Amino acid sequence: MTPGGDRGNFQWPVTKHARRDPGASEDFKTSEEEDMLSADLMTHEVATVTPETTIDRLCDLFRERRITGAPVVDGQGRLVGIVSKDDVLFRRRRGSSERAPEADIKSLFTSGFVGFAQADDLPTRVGEIMTRDVLSAPEDAPIEDLCRMMWERRVHRVPIVRGARLVGIVSALDVCRAVMNGPITRP
């Protein structure tokens, strides 16, 4: 969470999806190239977990898919949270956002990315460590705005929703790949 920390109250601007002219006033200038939208860049087949997923299974998913975070959905596919490797590594007690001491973190890596050491008072399910106040975006959010929000809020992935239902995800790596392919404009 960022300083002042309110991740979930980002208001998407209602705009015409057109490129801004840096020398112009705050109004949008139209151009022949439309801004790329979240739907143009998002990954459609998203690896998801539920609040009941075990942390061991979550760590297996992270290793298998080579990812560092996943949206948490309910039985109807509605977004209810998000969980990342940092949640696994740093949340040591149920409901706690307090970071574990460095010595505890080092022990997590003795046999690879394995999750929590065994103890009775440590979380066992994703629902106990996930972030519930999820920053998400609609399919028609301009990538430029999404990038700005990811930078300002210091998040690495943003679930893309249609209403409350998860339909995709945009990660910082997705944005990097797009930038490498040229201007972030709609094809």
Distances (CA, A) of 20 to 17, 25, 53: 9, 9, 44
Report yes or no: 37 and 186 within 8 Å, Cβ to Cβ: yes
pLDDT 10s digit of each residue in the chain, 187 long? Answer: 333 344 444 444 433 333 334 444 444 434 444 678 999 999 999 999 999 999 999 999 999 999 999 999 999 999 999 999 999 988 654 444 555 445 455 555 544 444 444 555 688 899 999 999 999 999 999 988 999 999 999 999 999 999 989 999 999 988 888 778 775 555 5
C-alpha distances in Å from residue 40, one per residue of 3, 53, 169: 31, 30, 11
Whole-angstrom distance between the N-terminal and C-terminal Cα of the chain? 34
pTM above 0.75, yes or no: no
**Which residues are within 8 A (CB) of 147 and not within 5 positions of it... i.e. 6 or more apart?**
175, 184
Q: Which domains does the chain have, with CATH numbers?
A: 31-180 (3.10.580.10)
Q: Can you read off the two tokens belonging to residue 114?
A: 């394995």
